[in-house]
Amino acid sequence: MSSSNNRSSKEEGGSLLRLLEILEGIAQADRPQSATDLNEVLRYPKATIHRLCGVLEREGFLERQLDGKRLVPGPRLATFVQGVLSQERFRIPRHAILKRLSEEIGETCNIALPRGSEMIYFDRVQTHWPLQMQLPVGSEVPLYCTSAGKIYLSSLSKKRRTLVVQRLTLEPHTPQTITDSAVLEQELEIISKQGYSTDKEEFIEGMVCVGVPISDERNRLFATLSFHAPTSRMSLSEATTFVPTLQDAAEQLAQLPALD
């Protein structure tokens, strides 16, 4: 191989590594990242960061915030991660924990991931009760009226939480849906302090739900764990007695390599 080919190969390898390190930096950050933020961590020239971020943005791996400066993971990166985590060798231990939890509570249990302005069901174990909510894996649900969405919103900084809530369209799904952004923010503050969220027939009438965060070693939420039950079988106050059970299962899930 000629020296020019060797040099070209090394340059391509270096560019690929830089792309991966940019994705890693943005995925691990506590907040959306600007080129300056990435430069402080990676020490790449700003021109290089701008160029590579442009490539990743065009391909859907990153997307830009409304301020036009800061970047967050895009839909293609989210799909990529979900594909990795869905591989059978990762799914089996995760699903086993979810199955034990569902058997202990006696209701359908779910793991959900944030995606844009919605939560997406990533894994679930359904009960065999005739009356239950039919939302298969891959279903997307709103942030503002589900326990999964509200526990995610509550994990954001106050400034970012307010920004996100103000941009949501709070459409009523039931008479219980919170459609006032100020009221929603008050509830999110309470959820942030108590460590769990509830859905009081806000998404589907006659259905209650309780959720907790699944967090990494730096206490950053990366998924949610929840269960739902019809009010004919369980009241909301009864449902909240399972919060410690949910939290124990969330801790087990957080320790799995597939969710590390």
> What does DSSP say about strands 221-230 and 108-115: parallel, antiparallel, or unpaired?
antiparallel
Burial class (CB in 10 A: 0-12, 13-18, 19+), 57: middle
Which residues does the chain have with pLDDT short of 70? 1-14, 66-68, 81-91, 129-134, 136, 257-260
Instruction: Determine the Cα–Cα distance for residues 172 and 76; give it in Å rounded to an integer.
Output: 30
Sorted by sequence, the CB contacts under 8 Å of residue 48 that are 6+ apart come out as 18
Residue 176 near residue 205, CB atoms below 8 Å: yes
Which domains, from first to last, does the chain contain? 3-73 (1.10.10.10), 86-259 (3.30.450.40)
**φ, ψ for residue 146, nearest 5 deg:** -125, 155
Please report the pLDDT score of residue 130 as a whole number: 59
Rg (CA), the chain: 20
* pTM (two decimals): 0.69
pLDDT at 9: 41
Taking alpha carbons only, the member of 225, 223, 256, 254 closest to residue 242 is 225
What is the model's pLDDT at position 257? 66
